[in-house]
């Protein structure tokens, strides 16, 4: 704390040249920090205040009602809640084997060298591609493929729907889960790995019986943060999910997620209650992703301090 001791020695007399600049500079630093904290609080407050009409009108039944009828002014978000949960968890399920493989690849098998830097660059690029591009590509390439699959399976060939959205989401969140997983796996102390090797374990046994159990909580945190992204992802999902406000019947039926219904209907929302219901969905998204992020980061911090 070098700065602390120097702070105390500054004599606040106006004779010293540059002291005023010093004072202003410190205030600017403090102010910009304060502004960000206030900004976040203001975001929460605005969302809350603007969703009050809907909160008052529907209360808790907002979560359990599936009618979303702007004409008669009845709003319930059950079908979007189901749509969001289905797409997020399905995409996590698809993403899991791939992100785990990349984590092991980067964290254990190939920590350095051209192969690992190649894979690392590719995953970083995947994370950098804008979601609108994913959505566009999904709409014109993935949707026809899914449609063919649905014809083979003998179900109504929409092409768009929960399943297509989950596929796109899975591709998008693999990099997040993988980069955190790789870091956590590389943090596993080598003495416990060497102990297992000395007992005659093969590398596969070391990975599945020593490394993965040891890194479990960190990997879970990575998956949690990926879930946070999947929940809030908007554009790619909006373009391929089919935008139906009915409760999805199967994973192939069209639906809507919380984020996609906001994207679709916000500019058309006439009437205070309609807009307020959409903002309440936004508030819920904000709160859920906030909790997920705080918990995920807390776990990661704990894991990296322990290692």
Partner 1 sequence: MDRERVKFRIGKDKAFMALVILLSFFSMVPLFLILFYIMRNGLSSLSWEFLTELSKPVGEVGGGIANAIVGSFLLVVIASLPAIPMGITAGVYLSEHKRGRLSYLLRLAVEVLQGTPSIVIGIIAYLWLVISMGGFSALSGGVALGIMMLPVITRATEETLKLIPDSLKEASLALGVPYYRTILKVILPAGFSGIATGILISLARIAGETAPLLFTAFGNPFMNLNIIKPVNALPLLIYNYATSPYPEWHSIAWGASCVLICIVLILNFVTRIIAQRWKVQF
Binding residues for partner 1 restricted to 279-298, rule: CB under 8 A: 279, 282, 285-286, 289-290, 292-294, 297
Judged by beta carbon, residue 72 or residue 106, the one nearer partner 1 is 106
Q: Applying CB under 8 A, does 132 fall inside the site for partner 1?
A: yes
Query: What minimum distance in Å lies between the beta carbon of 191 and partner 1?
Result: 21
Interface with partner 1 (CB under 8 A), residue from 76, 135, 161, 248: 135
Q: How far is the CB of 154 from partner 1 (least distance, A)?
A: 27
Six token digits for residue 298:
């807390």
Residues 33-92 that bind partner 1 (CB under 8 A): 33-37, 39-40, 43, 46-47, 50
CA 69 to CA 58: how far, in whole Å? 13
Cα–Cα distances (Å) from 248 to 4, 9, 265, 271, in that order, read: 59, 67, 19, 27
Sites for partner 1 among residues 157-186 (CB under 8 A): 171, 174, 178
- Taking the complex as a whole, the smallest distance from the CB of residue 7 to partner 1 amounts, in Å, to 9
Q: At what angle are helices 78-104 and 216-232 packed, to 10 degrees?
A: 140
- Complex with partner 1: residue 7 or 155, whichever CB lies closer: 7
Closest separation between CB of residue 3 and partner 1, Å? 6
Number of residues that bind partner 1 (CB under 8 A): 87
Smaller CB separation from partner 1, 55 or 263: 263
Interaction between residue 150 and partner 1 (CB under 8 A): no
Residues 6+ apart with CB under 8 A from 142: 164, 167, 168, 240
Q: Is 215 in the site for partner 1 (CB under 8 A)?
A: no
SS3 259: helix
Q: Rounded to the nearest whole angstrom, what is the least distance from the CB of residue 153 to partner 1 in the complex? A: 23
226 binds partner 1 per the rule CB under 8 A: no
Single out the residue of 82, 149, 187, 235 in contact with partner 1 (rule: CB under 8 A). Answer: 235
> Is the distance from CB of 92 to CB of 230 less than 8 angstroms?
yes
Which residue, 30 or 192, is less far from partner 1 as judged by CB?
30
Q: How does DSSP assign 67-136, residue by residue?
A: -EETTTTEE--HHHHHHHHHHHHHHHHHHHHHHHHHHHIIIII-SSSHHHHHHHHHHHHHHHS-HHHHHH
Query: Rounded to the nearest 10 degrees, how much is the dihedral formed by the CA atoms of 181, 184, 190, 196?
Result: -50
Token representation of residue 224 = 């949690």
Q: Which is nearer to partner 1, 32 or 72 (CB)?
A: 32
Q: Does 126 bind partner 1 (CB under 8 A)?
A: yes
- Of the pair 188, 292, the CB lying nearest partner 1 is at 292
Task: Check: CB of residue 303 under 8 Å from CB of residue 184.
Answer: yes
């Amino acid at each position: 704390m070098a700065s602390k001791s120097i702070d105390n020695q500054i004599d606040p007399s106006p004779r010293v040249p540059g002291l005023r600049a010093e004072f202003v500079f410190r205030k600017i630093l403090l102010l910009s920090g304060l502004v960000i904290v206030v900004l976040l609080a203001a975001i929460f407050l605005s969302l809350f205040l603007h969703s009050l009409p809907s909160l008052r009108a529907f209360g808790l039944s907002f979560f359990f009602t599936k009618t979303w009828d702007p004409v008669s002014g009845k709003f319930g978000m059950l079908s979007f809640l189901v749509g969001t949960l289905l797409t997020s968890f399905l995409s996590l399920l698809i993403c899991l084997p791939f992100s785990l493989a990349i984590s092991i690849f980067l964290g254990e098998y190939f920590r350095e060298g051209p192969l690992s830097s190649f894979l690392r660059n590719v995953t970083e690029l995947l994370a950098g591609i804008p979601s609108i591009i994913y959505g566009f590509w999904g709409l014109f390439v993935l949707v026809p493929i899914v449609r063919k699959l649905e014809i083979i399976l003998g179900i109504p060939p929409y092409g768009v729907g929960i399943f297509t959205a989950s596929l796109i989401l899975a591709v998008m969140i693999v990099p997040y889960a993988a980069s955190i997983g790789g870091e956590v796996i590389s943090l596993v102390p080598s003495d416990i790995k060497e102990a297992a090797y000395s007992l005659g374990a093969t590398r596969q046994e070391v990975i599945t019986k020593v490394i993965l159990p040891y890194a479990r909580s960190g990997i879970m945190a990575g998956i949690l943060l990926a879930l946070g992204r999947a929940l809030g992802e908007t554009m790619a999902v909006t373009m391929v999910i089919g935008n139906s406000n009915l409760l999805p019947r199967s994973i192939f039926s069209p639906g809507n997620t919380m984020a996609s219904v906001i994207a679709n209907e916000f500019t058309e929302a006439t009437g205070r209650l309609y807009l307020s219901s959409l903002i309440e969905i936004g508030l819920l998204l904000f709160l859920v992703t906030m909790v997920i992020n705080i918990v995920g980061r807390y776990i990661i911090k704990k894991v990296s301090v322990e290692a």
